[in-house]
Amino acid sequence: MTDIKVTPLGAGQDVGRSCILLQMGGKNIMLDCGMHMGYNDERRFPDFSYIADGNLTESLDCVIISHFHLDHCGALPFMTEMVGYNGPIYMTHPTKAIAPILLEDMRKVAVERKGETNFFTSAHIKDCMKKVIAVTLHQTVQVDSEIEIKAYYAGHVLGAAMFHVKVGNQSVVYTGDYNMTPDRHLGAAWIDKCRPNILISESTYATTIRDSKRCRERDFLKKVHDCVDRGGKVLIPVFALGRAQELCILLETYWERMNLKAPIYFAVGLTEKANNYYKMFITWTNQKIRKTFVQRNMFEFKHIRPFDKSYADTPGPMVVFATPGMLHAGLSLQLFKKWAPNENNMLIMPGYCVSGTVGAKVLSGAKKVEIENRQVIEVKMSVQYMSFSAHADAKGIMQLIQYCEPQNVLLVHGEGVKMEFLKQKIQQEYGIDCYMPANGESAYIPCKPVVPVDVSLSLLKKEMALYDTVGAPDPKRPCRMHGVLVMKDNVLKLMEPEQAFGELGLNRHSIRFTSCIQLRLPGTAIRAMDQIQLILNSQNTNYPVKPSDEGLLNLESVSIKMETTDKEDRKSMMISWALQDEDLATWIMSSLRQVIV
Amino acid sequence: MAVLKKRALAEYSQVVQEEACSKPLQLMKKPHLSSAVEDEHVTVNTFEKLETSEALVAYLNHIQLNLSFQTDDKVVLLRKLIDTYHHSEQSYVRLKIVCILGDFRKVPKFDVQIIINEIIKLISTETSHKVCASMICTLKKLGSLLSSDSPVLGKIIAIGTKLLNNSNHLVKCHCLSLLGGLRSLNNLQGENVKLICKFTKSQDPRVRTAAYDALLQLHDRGQKLELCIYSDVCSALQDDNENVRQSAMRIIWVLSHTYPESCVVIPGCQDEVHLVDDAFAKICQAIGDLSVNVRTLAAELLGSMVNVNPHFLEQTLDKKLMSDMRRKRSAHERHWETVTSGEWASGARWADDKPRENLDAESVSLIHSGACGAFVHGLEDEFMEVRSASLDSLCQLALSNPRFATLSLDFLVDMFNDEIEEVRLKAIDCMTKISQLIVLREDQLEIILGVLEDSNVEIREGLHRMLGACRLSTKACLKLCVQALLDNLKRYSQDKRSIWRCLQLLGPRHPDLTLLLVPELLTVHPFFDMPEADVEDPSYVCVLLLVFNAAQFCPQILSLFEEHIRRHYRYLRDTISNFVPHLQLTGVEEMEGQIEFETNTNYFLQNVMSRLNQPISTNQIKVWDAACHDLIRLAQIDSSLAHGVELLATQLECHILIAKVMNSPAWIDSSSLNVQDGDVVKNLIDQLQRRSLRLQYMFSNLSTEEMLLIQSTRLQAMAIQLVYIVRASNTSALALSDHFVSRVEALKGYGNLPSFAGAIVKEIARVDDTKPGVLSRILLPILQAHIYVAPFCLPAKAFKLSADILEPSGESDNPQKFLAGFVLGVVLDAEIQGLAHSEYLRVRVKYPDLNAQLIIPQESHLKMIKHYPKNDSSENIISVPDHRLRTSVLVSHQVWTESSHIELSLVLDVTDPEVPSALKRWRGFSEDSFIIELCKPVRVLVSPKPIKRGI
């Protein structure tokens, strides 16, 4: 029962289609629900039939979505509306705002362009989003009486979050995608020392340590600036959201600083809508944008204007951001066709290109590119590759592990071979277990059972005061606590004895032991007592022996009494002690025996 | 539609349910506190009258505020307070009383030991933790006043040690701070350090922090911390609480400075490293901490660890890059390789950062790599506090390690591209600082020069300063640099002066490189005469400045000059002489005369001085007058002596005025003479005031004697004014005499006062009463005895405050229009030299209707410009910093029919220090007598337009 079971339905030793099932403390939680962009058949969605015959509402307690990228939320409408799930779904506010835009765009491409059927509809997306509960950073949300979730900032894209899921005493952190180095519009991921049982981390760049970002930025800016200075046109194909905004901010501030006049255009479309959300969620951005927000919202671009198709033939320098990012269709391809033959122009690819696309061909250095309908284009424009990626590198992942100090790490969202290396490193440097299950494979992570006990506050305070009065804190000195362990309604409680007896309606009994030793000591009883006190005090310093008024020696609960017998030099010593001081009494007796008897 | 419906539902379906008010409101009259509290003469008996504790606290507050003024017997008050303490049940009343007891230390001549003993008595019975903590805090404050061998101190410390066992964290923290701050340095010290060390293991993070802070306090007070705590403190760097981590890091830093050479064994292997290196690595690791504050502190501390092993230092800039398990070179390294191989990076190839050799998976350590890449991370941090602290540290370390400086160059250049301007500016400043140690390569220079296009003036001017201080490697570099500066000038013409200065510094640093470029720069052709360039063209002037300044150190350049360049030299030498050095041009006859002339001025000055210091003659005023004229003329002629001579002249003027006033019969007695004479005297005194104020505030960089001389003159002027007001007018001089006395008091501490000031100080010390009448009776004979006494000497290093308004230039004929009643911002750009009292600086705006406004410039707009040594010989650095004021002056006025000039000028407003507050409203001073002008006003044409109504 104490094992935590993690089963990736997607993203297990694989990138794309993130969907992880988490079972702990008798609860089932789904982390992310993404689709695979590479497939067009049912393989693009996670295999929901794996979960309890497809009856999702009953078998899942909640679904958590980390951010709006489609490989993390793309299958959500399919799951809720077509497979059927009515339970709670959690995501952050920006994610809830932007995800439907992306889903809708994808649906259009799939249904209207590719003519697919049996795909979810706009209404499905809307209905799905109605089931979503939005959460704020660092807000603790109680899903039911046992599950508790909390979101942490993850960088990566606007609204990306890591989630700390807690069931009973067990907890798991799921990172989603995150970035440990800040960029132009977002800060770095941050988490506190929450010490979860498992950290489920992405590992896209498991084997890479990246160079400083500033170099790349400077290169990028310089190249754009040079091209614009010689009157050329710069084409930057981008995916609509995320990196595009970062590059916009970068160029915008540079234009401002350098007082440049050449126009920058942004192809209209879903970006416009998304930009509105970027303007709204300023609190999710980095220090600079948050600070300048009072004077000006950085996303209200001064130099960047919407693009109109007629601008493509306007003479003079310009910079254009156009979708899609891999130059395989749409506006970016059209502009590429127009501008490629001029050597003054420039193409900057800010991201990765799937092989086979025009983008990949151009990047690999092809001077003549064939596009649809057998048209051949001569590429004379200069082609640049600039990597602006927002995943944590190996050092970043290690840093996150250091931050939150998990007991186990589980790697997802990366290639298996690379994970192997990182796994080894984690085990070596932190000495903790690391797992990397493949899709459909379950990892059972054993957890030490923890038995929580409630301690009454008054008892705790009393014992602490006692501990404090003894002397300076010393980590080696044991701190004992005296109380009564009460088990009631399946809950353990540690209470003060009086309180416990009061609640149980019992009278308190205490056991005292008394023992009598015959000693050979000359002199009166009082002198003998003094002698014993001296002996005891010389042997221990922690517990001073105090004589009481009735002629007794007291030491904690131990009391010693001396009686004279018939014989002159024989005395009988009575020692009486309560149960808890058994050890002490034994020690006194043995030490007295050694010295006197 | 859906939205509308939702909203409608949301707004109208709310049911507001008011809770039934269970308690009826009651009108209550509050007990009137003020009767007792506001009474001026509270007596200690008031305590009995106060019934509620609120009233008591209010009354206690009153006592606390007036503690040092109250005339009652302090001992009685103390008794009363302690009685009240015993009777009060509320802990906040007791807390207040403890506070007041602490304030008794400010009462002059009160024995703090009495209070300490009282508190020690009280503390044993106190139950409230807060009061207890406050008592400890008070004991610490009081104890710090005792001498270190006092027996009471021992008692205090015993109390502190005893209460360490208290269960409350606040009490513990204060006790620790007491032990840390109050230790008499005796043999018990070691024991206490051990005790405090034990508390670094406390379970309460607040106590842990307090314990570490106490150790730091001990260190600050000279106690050497022991090495054995090092390993414990290191483990505290992993503490959960960020404050503990911060304090622990400070201790590690302290230890690394105390025992840099001792050896530490690295856990896991047998190697030993120096403690300073180990500490450095530990602090470097903290740059990856969870908390911003810790990161910032780590970045700050790194800078001062200059004696760390260079090997470790260089690691901080190295972040072993890898890609797919293969070693990858950083962009910087790649760049360097292309430069050295003579091939330029095309940057066009995809994956040209292709990783090379394969890495052994075992050998790559991702986290525990010590100092590895600390600065790389620090400079990339999310928060500007960390980034800017890292920059500072980087710069500091680079200054002490030239090799590291060269390595850090690329990173500094990268920071020119930071998103926050302050950081960019700081990066440029850092670069300027280390520019002595590095030589710029062409590719680096190219990146740096790109920043010249920045639209921010500060950045550009910072860069100009940096370029002026750096060293370039090749001729091509210099050419690139000049070209970029000329482009910059074309783009932003307002940078003219800054660029000129840059080139003026650039020339002497690279005379040989300049020599190679001269023909190209001046378009000299071996066979053809090229057209003569226009000497008024700023960019041509730029080139000339570079060449002329380089020619100082490279005589070969001189031979390349053609006739028209010689002509231009003479012209520029005349117009902008501070940018053009003196050159030994054959055929220009100025040369010989120059040296002759200089000796003349010195000779002349000595002549004047000897005349001044001759015994006093009957027509002394005339002698002074003549000398004053001579000095003023001299100051205009010889700039090297100008500041000191001007100071002397001003001083002389003051004394001439003093003598004139004293010699006129009207100045003590207005009744006997006609009005005209009275006016003359009044006028003279007014002038004297202005002169003496100028004397006091316009000069800086003086020796103590020179300063005292000036003070004495000023005192004389004030004395004359005081006596005049007492004797010859019927206005009250009470405030004025108080002010005078306070001025005299301020001089008391100095020995060796000038004769006048000395006499006054002596006399004032003798009398108790400082009523104006008495004062003037004392002053009059002293004044009369010192009419002609003024030992003059030339303050050679004196520096005169002057300002130069660069913008607006006052030449524009286009009026600036704005809506009447609204505000117009006029850009003001000024350079100020020798500003010692920046708090008195004002911008004065004079409107044509003679209204004048004084505007306090924003503190952030006034910037100090740091001077870096011009040449390697650092003789001619002026120790007084330059200031640059760049602000927008807000102008507003009602409608004018046509445009008209307003006058902007910079002034010092010394009303605050010079006019006692009681006299602020007195009309005896004319309004502008305490305003010192720093420069000629600049005229700006403005025209407020009427508001058009009904658009």
| Segment B103-115, tens digit of pLDDT | 888 776 677 888 8
Half-sphere exposure of B159 (CA within 13 A, CB side): 30
Pairwise CB contact (< 8 Å): A193 & B240: yes
B361 in reach of chain A (CB within 8 A): yes
Q: Shortest Cα distance from A424 to chain B (angstroms)?
A: 9
> Residue A475 pLDDT more than 50?
yes
Bridge partners for B938 per DSSP: B904
Q: What band does A406 get if pLDDT is binned at 50, 70 and 90? A: very high
Contacts with B295 from chain A: Cβ below 8 Å: none
DSSP class of B581: -
More confident call, A481 vs B824: B824
- Name the closest residue on chain B to residue A195, using Cα atoms: B240
| Catalytic-residue membership of A202 | yes
Contact (CB<8Å) A472/B349: no
| pLDDT attached to residue A152 | 95
- Model confidence at B41, pLDDT cuts 50, 70, 90, reads very low
pLDDT in tens, B683-695: 888 888 888 888 8
Residue B1: CB partners within 8 Å, gap ≥ 6? Answer: none
Cα B574–Cα B580–Cα B584 angle in degrees, nearest 5: 90
Cβ of residue B392 closer than 8 Å to a chain A Cβ: no
Percentage of residues of chain A with pLDDT beyond 90: 25
Q: Judged by CB atoms within 8 Å, which residues 88-147 of A form the interface with B?
A: none
Q: What's the pLDDT score for residue B254?
A: 92
B749/B135: higher pLDDT: B135
Instruction: Indicate the helix (H) or strand (E) that contains B559.
Output: helix B556-560
Lowest model confidence (mean pLDDT) among A476-480, B357-361, B423-427: B357-361
Of the pLDDT bands very low, low, confident and very high (cuts 50, 70, 90), residue B870 is: very low
The model's confidence at residue B245, banded by pLDDT at 50, 70 and 90, is: very high
Quickly count: other Cβ atoms within 10 Å of residue A365's Cβ.
Answer: 11
Mean of the per-residue pLDDT values for chain A? 85
Mean pLDDT of B612-629: 79
Give the HSE-up count for residue A544: Cα atoms under 13 Å, Cβ half-sphere: 4
Checking if the pLDDT of B886 tops 50, the result is: yes
Query: Which residues on chain B are in Cβ contact (under 8 Å) with A461?
Result: 167
B319 touches chain A (CB under 8 A): yes
Give Rg (Cα) of chain A. Answer: 36
Say yes or no for a CB contact (<8 Å) between B201 and A383: no
Q: Which of A209, A287, A474 sits opposite B201 (nearest CB)?
A: A474
Q: What is the per-residue pLDDT across B821-845, written as a single tens digit (0 to 9) for each?
A: 888 888 888 888 888 788 888 999 9
Tell if the CB–CB gap between B366 and A398 is shorter than 8 Å.
Answer: yes
* Structure tokens given for B219: 């260190």
Q: What is the mean pLDDT of residues B328-351?
A: 45
- Which residues of B are less than 8 Å from A403 in CB distance? 290
- pLDDT(B348) > 50: no
Of A260-264, B183-187, B468-472, B581-585, where does mean pLDDT reach its minimum? B183-187
Share of chain B above pLDDT 70, in %: 80
A101-105, B354-358, B410-414 — which is least confidently predicted? B354-358
Residue B26 scores a pLDDT above 70: no
Band the pLDDT of A61: cuts 50, 70, 90.
Answer: very high
- Smallest CA–CA distance, residue A470 to chain B, in Å, is 7
Q: What is the pLDDT of residue A19?
A: 92
Average of per-residue pLDDT values in chain B: 79
Bigger pLDDT: B265 or B678?
A: B265
Residue A591: its H or E element: helix A582-595
Q: Averaged over B626-649, what is the pLDDT?
A: 81
CB contact under 8 A, A363 and B350: yes
Contact B325, A207 (CB under 8 A): yes
Q: Would you say residue B593 has pLDDT above 70?
A: no
Instruction: Tell me how crowded residue A529 is: count the other CB atoms within 10 A of its CB.
Output: 20
B537-551 average pLDDT score: 89
Q: Does A213 contact B at CB distance below 8 Å? A: yes
Residue B768 in this model has a pLDDT that exceeds 80: no
User: Which of B 473-512 lie inside 8 A of A, CB atoms?
Assistant: 491
Using CB atoms, which residue from A219, A225, A468 is nearest to B166?
A468
Residue A254 distance to chain B (closest CA, Å)? 9
Provide the token pair at B176.
């620790």
* CA atoms within 13 Å, Cβ hemisphere of A23: 16
Could you tell me if A43 lies within 8 Å of chain B, comparing CB atoms? no
The bridge status of strand A368-371 relative to strand B816-819 is: unpaired
Which residues of A fall within a CB distance of 8 Å from B417? 214, 217-218, 221
Whether chain B has a CB inside 8 Å of the CB on A212: the answer is yes
Highest mean pLDDT among A44-58, B472-486, B521-535, B626-640: B472-486
Per-residue pLDDT, B863: 82
pLDDT score at B248: 94
CA B201 to chain centre: 41
Sign of CA dihedral B376, B379, B385, B388: positive
What single letter denotes the amino acid at residue A579?
L
Mean pLDDT of all residues in B239-261: 92
Of A81, A202, A217, A246, which is the active-site residue?
Answer: A202
Q: How confident is the model at residue A94 (pLDDT cuts 50, 70, 90)?
A: very high
Which residues of chain A does B347 touch, with a Cβ-Cβ cutoff of 8 Å?
Answer: 219, 223, 384
Q: Which of residues 875-894 of B touch A (CB under 8 A)?
A: none
Mean pLDDT over B307-313 rounds to 84
Show the domains of chain A with their CATH numbers.
Answer: 3-209+390-446 (3.60.15.10), 213-385 (3.40.50.10890), 454-504 (no CATH), 512-594 (3.30.310.50)
| pLDDT of B361 above 70 | no
Question: Which stretch of A339-343, B52-56, B717-721 has the lowest confidence by average pLDDT?
Answer: B52-56
User: Would you place residue A356 in the very low, low, confident or very high pLDDT band (cuts 50, 70, 90)?
Assistant: confident
Residue A393 DSSP symbol:
B
**Cα-based distances in Å from B729 to A63, A454, B380, B722, B873:** 92, 87, 71, 10, 59
Q: How far is CA B657 from CA A184, A557, B632, B673, B714, in A?
A: 66, 96, 16, 20, 12
Q: What is the pLDDT of residue A200?
A: 95
Q: How far is B48 from chain A (nearest CA, A)?
A: 38
Average pLDDT of the segment spanning B769-795: 77
Other Cβ atoms within 10 Å of A79 Cβ, number: 23
Is A385's CB within 8 Å of B350's CB? yes
Mutate to test the interface with B, among A184, A208, A246, A367 (most CBs of B within 10 A): A208
Residues of A in contact with B323 (CB under 8 A): 207-209
Q: Where are the alpha helices (DSSP H) in B345-401?
A: 374-379, 384-400
Find the closest chain A residue to B241 by CA distance: A193
A429:B364 CB<8 A: no
Per-residue pLDDT averaged across A462-486, rounded? 79
Residues 430-449 of chain B whose Cβ lies under 8 A from any Cβ of chain A: 447
Compute the nearest-CA separation of B285 from chain A (Å): 11
Closest CA to B731 of B674, B682, B664, B780: B682
Q: Contacts of residue B447 in chain A, CB cutoff 8 Å?
A: 218, 222
- Selected for mutation to probe chain A from B366, B375, B453 (highest A CB count within 10 Å) is B366
Q: How far is CA B416 from CA A44, A247, A285, B412, B450, in A?
A: 45, 18, 22, 7, 10
How close is the nearest chain A Cα to the Cα of B236, in Å? 14
CB-defined contacts A:B, below 8 A: 140
Confidence at residue A20, expressed as pLDDT on a 0 to 100 scale: 93
Residue with the larger pLDDT of the pair A383 and B531? A383
Say which of A184, A211, A421 has its CB closest to residue B331. Answer: A211
Question: In the beta sheet, which residues pair with residue A546?
Answer: A554
